């Protein structure tokens, strides 16, 4: 089974930049004007999961709360240090997770609201 987390956005270029250049994921593919949608697939090659972001001209109105969170678990100290350096270079503040497991076991925790606030105009 493969897993895809799909999310519609009005900020596809900014989210693509964030996940590739800050988090360190790869652009696995993209499409343009597929039934009115543009999209990107972001993740790591040869894994059974990826993120998909789609965009249309339709405005997006998502409502986030403290359980809408991404938790990253770097596997090595080097990976952890590099991720923190990239986050810090963009002044991205780590959030305190509502779920205690994420707070104790997650190395880096970032809320979706925090990420999207980078792109507010």
Answer yes or no: is pLDDT of 121 > 50. no
pLDDT digits (tens, 9 = 90+) for 4-19: 888 999 989 999 998 9
| Closest C-alpha among 50, 54, 48 to residue 25 | 50
Q: Are residues 77 and 57 in the same domain?
A: no
Q: Tell me the residue range of the domain where 116 lies.
A: 63-121
> What pTM was computed for the model?
0.78
Question: CA Rg, the chain, in Å?
Answer: 15
Q: Are residues 48 and 79 in the same domain?
A: no
- Are 79 and 32 members of one domain? no
Specify the CATH number for the domain of residue 42: 3.10.180.10
What's the number of domains the chain is made of?
2
Regarding whether 108 and 71 lie in a shared domain, the answer is: yes
């Amino acid at each position: 089974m493969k897993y895809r987390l799909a999310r519609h956005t009005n900020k596809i270029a900014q989210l693509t930049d964030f996940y590739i250049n800050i988090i360190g994921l790869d652009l696995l593919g993209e499409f343009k004007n597929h039934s009115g949608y543009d999209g990107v697939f972001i993740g790591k090659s040869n894994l059974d999961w990826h993120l998909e972001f789609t965009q249309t001209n339709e405005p997006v109105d998502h409502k986030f709360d403290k359980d809408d969170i991404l938790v990253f678990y770097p596997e090595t100290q080097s990976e952890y240090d590099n991720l923190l350096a990239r986050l810090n270079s963009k002044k991205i503040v780590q959030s305190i997770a509502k779920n205690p497991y994420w707070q104790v076991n997650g190395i880096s925790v970032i809320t979706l609201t925090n990420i999207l606030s980078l792109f507010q105009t």
